[in-house]
Structure 1
Amino acid sequence: MDATEEIVVVGAGPTGLWLAAELRLQGVPVTVLEARTERDPHSKALTVHPRTVEILGMRGLADAFVDAGFPLPTGHFGALDTRLDFRVLDTPYPFTLFLPQARTEELLEAHALARGARILRGHRVTGLVQGPESVRVEVAGPAGGYTVEARYVVGCDGTRSAVREAAGIGFPGTDASLWGWLGDVVADLTPVGGPVSRFGPEGGVMAVPMPGGLTRFVGVTPEDRGAAHPGELTLAEMRSRVVRVLGSDCSVREPHWLSRFGNATRQADAYRAGRVLLAGDAAHMHFPTGGVGLNVGFQDATNLGWKLAAEVKGTAEEGLLDSYHRERHPVGARLLASTRAQTALMAAWSVETQALRDHLSAAIAEQPSFARGLAEQLAALDVSYPPVSPAHPLTGTRAPDLPFADGTSLFALMREGRHVLLDLTGGSRAAGTDRPVPGGTRRHALRPAGREDAWGDIGTALIRPDGHVGWVGE
């Protein structure tokens, strides 16, 4: 069977599902090909960070996700004893949302389907060939092999991405030298006083409650060092590590999922190769410190969706699609540097590295500006895309949810996925007359209420569909 599609997204994880929904929001047909026949019941990720919840809020979805999860006002950097306080951040969502990935994917799939995305499960991509006007995708489906001709293909198919390999995109980095472990089990935390995070010379263990009466134990211990995969985790191994670190086995029993994960760290050297693009774990892999992986992939998709849609519809300015790599590759590189630093803190077993943990923990507790900077980094509220030429300092930054005197706010204006042109003089100026304004831009002329920062001193601003500032008029 041969078929023709506008966009083919490979992978129905959080990144692929959100990208499909964003493309449909822009009116572009999209088909998602997923090798699994059903959603994975296990949840690798458990946290949704503030910037991701903001993006959901821009599309009118934040309440549904918050209602399904549990907001936590703090987060951690490298599992340090002093936690980061998100309540000081300039966001309507000052928390980490505890929400297992299985539920996140369920909500995202429902949203993508409601938008009109086509999701095919049990369809595994086996290869692709690029042409001047399209990409020929080879697929193994339930009824046999077939090909799809697509204008663009986006690989959201994980660290072992078939799309990345078929496109010949390099994935340089370092191999694993340390193996973390996790277990979703039935347990009794009473002997150690409830939910736990403990890191010391014997290793580190975190324990958090999960839906269905389960507890997730996740940890790393000195014997987990080594380049070779240590094999499948057993309940006995996990129990011995929990006892060593916590002093009790917490009556762990009835394992529902046991797994290991390494600290191999890699990044695609290009997020675009012709008509093939990468997002999420297909573009970057790392030790899952701080729970950032799902969130960065989600934000990759938000940056890419409107740009790829504009390219397909013929409305993109020159170089717009190439800006995806230019803007998101540095974010990925920074992510890898952060996760490496956090991994070093989590695997701090010597006297010297234990002292480093204590020193940084004290700095977070005693230096509010340092703590806030780390919180903004973890929450992805500090992500900025530097302009290619000198511009106003707000250009490329994330736009906050500006409140207006009529009771509306910026995020509410962005639900249709269009550019938003703000005349912050309240209509006293001809907004944007000397700047490019994309077709279909929504215009809003009201002064922001209660802002005493840089947003109170500008005349006009164009906000991109991904919530970043396109340009600013004095």
Structure 2
Amino acid sequence: MFLSIRACREGSTVDTDVIVVGAGPTGLMLAGELRLGGARVVVVERLAEPTGQSRGLGFTARAMEVFDQRGLLPRFGTLEKSPMGHFGGIQFDYTVLEDAHFGARGVPQSQTEAVLEEWAGELGADIRRGWELTKLSEDGHGVEIVAATPDGEQRLRAAYLVGCDGGQSVVRRAAGFDFPGLPATRRMYLADVTGCAIRPRFLGERLEHGMVMAAPLAPGVDRIIVCEHGTPAGDRPQAVEFEEVAAAWERITGESLAGGGADWVSSFTDATRQVSAYRKGRVLLAGDAAHVHLPAGGQGLSTGVQDAVNLGWKLAAVARGRAPEALLDTYHDERHPVGARLLMNTRAQGMIFLGGPEADPARAVFGELMELEDVRRRLAGIVSHLDITYDLGPGTHPLLGRRLPPRPLELPDGTRTGTADLLHPARGVLLDLGGDPAPRESAARWSDSVTVVTARPEDPDAFAGATALLVRPDGHVAWAAGGDSARDDVAAGIDRLVQSLHHWFGSPEVA
């Protein structure tokens, strides 16, 4: 049995298992995941109240699946999925790839945060607003923070700390994470404008002096984005007033926003940076604290949520003493390449979409390439995040390392369910699709962390001929039998299953 974190050092005590800094979508999702895994968690947030600002307006297809895996989608109400999307402003149909779409549209970030905060609170997360981190220290046995609060300076100690505090992360700087990348080359403005009649420009419009986008959010409210050529950049967002945004809009479009106002305004840049390591000892980073980039297609929020879902069950298992600390290294191994690819695709989109006349040849070539179906499929997979594949060990089945697709199932008693429903508790799942008792018997030893389910897919081709699948709590397939892997020796396949169970879920004696 692995040592409990609470007993990792004689005389050492912690107030909680994990401190999460930041109550945005990433931090709140992580808090819920940790609670589902049985870990105690305190979320500290410098803002006394949520901003209520719309900010991000949706999430990707894979983030939508992740929310479905935890039973959260009904809390969002009716969601509009857009089959049509773009890459670098060039429009195409994302349904060229199975299960893909351009994501859930029109969901303000304030709503996403409200849904996740309510959920995490119901699960028992301790969310403390008005706590501003001022100091962080790690001694090898735990992490301690000092925070300024309405009640004065407070100290809090935990076994681990995760920074989910955004692009200007205090945690990242305080813990000394290396944050290499490319500086900003342009600054852009964003505003929710009221009191003006604005012509929609859903995909953006490139003009001589810059690019503008506009779309109605609600009656009398329009979201605009303004990118003026030659605007001084700088890595950090800067405070901005509506008058600055209106002046830039008029310089580019010749249209006046006089007499209007804004619910809120902000600025952002195309700075592209990623930490070299997602973990330093007992401090980890997730979401924008680990990677900043040009906003494109709702990928930032969605990637942060997926960071949280990848990390949460692992960190909970380690904090509870059910898995070795080395399990946390798989978080960096799996999510750092995803972050790097995110930076690559958003930077490419910025060059195509925001560049001036010098980018016209690249746009023309890119437009020709997108006439090819294979190119459209690849780009749909990149932006929807449905093509993310982790290296989860030997095996030849096409689902190995990929997410379990959402498919209907029939249980032995005739009840119908779906693959996402099986993942609501954030446990591992051994999905028996072929009636072979050997995988079920092997997984039964991990009954405290893996649920064994026998089911029949409504579509016989739903899982590429798989007869059994081991699915991690984040929805990725860690082992598969059947299909292309049917040629493998059966005993060797069961040995790999047992190895995978040990690797992801610890020893069965403690599971």
**TM-score normalized by the length of structure 2:** 0.84
From the superposition, tell whether residues 132 and 439 of structure 1 become closer, same or farther in structure 2 (CA, over 3 Å).
farther
Q: Aligned to 2:304, what secondary structure does the other structure show?
A: helix
Shift of 1:283: 0.6
From the superposition, tell whether residues 380 and 228 of structure 1 become closer, same or farther in structure 2 (CA, over 3 Å).
closer
Does residue 1:5 correspond to 2:22, yes or no? no
Give the corresponding residue for 2:51. 40
Shift of 1:86: 3.2
Does residue 1:87 correspond to 2:117, yes or no? no
Does residue 1:411 correspond to 2:384, yes or no? no
**Residue among 338, 354, 359 paired with 1:353:** 359
Q: Aligned to 1:75, what secondary structure does the other structure show?
A: strand
Shift of 1:468: 0.3
Of 10-19 and 39-48, more deviation after overlay is shown by 39-48
Give the corresponding residue for 2:386. 381
From the superposition, tell whether residues 231 and 429 of structure 1 become closer, same or farther in structure 2 (CA, over 3 Å).
closer
Give the corresponding residue for 1:458. 466
In structure 2, C-alpha distance between the alignment counterparts of 1:27 and 1:131, rounded to whole Å:
24
From the superposition, tell whether residues 226 and 274 of structure 1 become closer, same or farther in structure 2 (CA, over 3 Å).
closer
Does residue 1:258 correspond to 2:265, yes or no? yes
Shift of 1:216: 1.0
Give the corresponding residue for 2:498. none
From the superposition, tell whether residues 198 and 71 of structure 1 become closer, same or farther in structure 2 (CA, over 3 Å).
same
Specify every segment of 5 or more residues in structure 1 that has no aligned partner in the other structure, as ranges: none
Residues 40-78 of structure 1, C-alpha deviations (whole Å, 9 max, x = no match): 2223311211111101111111122252x5433322222
Does residue 1:216 correspond to 2:223, yes or no? yes
Equivalent residue runs for 1:93-132 within 5 Å? 95-132=103-140
Give the corresponding residue for 2:67. 56
Q: Aligned to 1:290, what secondary structure does the other structure show?
A: coil
Question: What is the count of residue pairs matched by the alignment?
Answer: 465
Give the corresponding residue for 2:278. 271
In structure 2, C-alpha distance between the alignment counterparts of 1:88 and 1:175, rounded to whole Å:
35
In structure 1, C-alpha distance between the alignment counterparts of 2:96 and 2:73, rounded to whole Å:
20
Q: Aligned to 1:420, what secondary structure does the other structure show?
A: strand
Q: Aligned to 1:60, what secondary structure does the other structure show?
A: coil
Identity of aligned residues (%): 39
In structure 1, C-alpha distance between the alignment counterparts of 2:16 and 2:74, rounded to whole Å:
33
Give the corresponding residue for 1:442. 451
Equivalent residue runs for 1:127-276 within 5 Å? 127-186=135-194, 188-189=196-197, 192=199, 195=202, 197-211=204-218, 213-224=220-231, 226-227=233-234, 232-243=239-250, 245-246=252-253, 248-249=255-256, 253-276=260-283
From the superposition, tell whether residues 239 and 298 of structure 1 become closer, same or farther in structure 2 (CA, over 3 Å).
same
Give the corresponding residue for 1:17. 28
Give the corresponding residue for 1:26. 37
Tell me if the contact between 1:268 and 1:283 (Cα under 8 Å) persists in the aligned partners.
yes
Residues 100-139 of structure 1, C-alpha deviations (whole Å, 9 max, x = no match): 1111111111111111111000111112221232112212
Give the corresponding residue for 2:327. 320
Tell me if the contact between 1:33 and 1:120 (Cα under 8 Å) persists in the aligned partners.
yes
Counterpart residue identity of residue 355, structure 2? A
Q: Aligned to 2:87, what secondary structure does the other structure show?
A: coil
Shift of 1:233: 3.9
Shift of 1:218: 0.3
Does residue 1:331 correspond to 2:331, yes or no? no
Tell me if the contact between 1:159 and 1:285 (Cα under 8 Å) persists in the aligned partners.
yes
Shift of 1:399: 1.0
Tell me if the contact between 1:73 and 1:96 (Cα under 8 Å) persists in the aligned partners.
no
Q: Aligned to 1:321, what secondary structure does the other structure show?
A: helix
Q: Aligned to 1:289, what secondary structure does the other structure show?
A: coil
Tell me if the contact between 1:50 and 1:94 (Cα under 8 Å) persists in the aligned partners.
yes
Does residue 1:73 correspond to 2:65, yes or no? no
Tell me if the contact between 1:303 and 1:324 (Cα under 8 Å) persists in the aligned partners.
yes
Of 57-66 and 150-159, more deviation after overlay is shown by 57-66
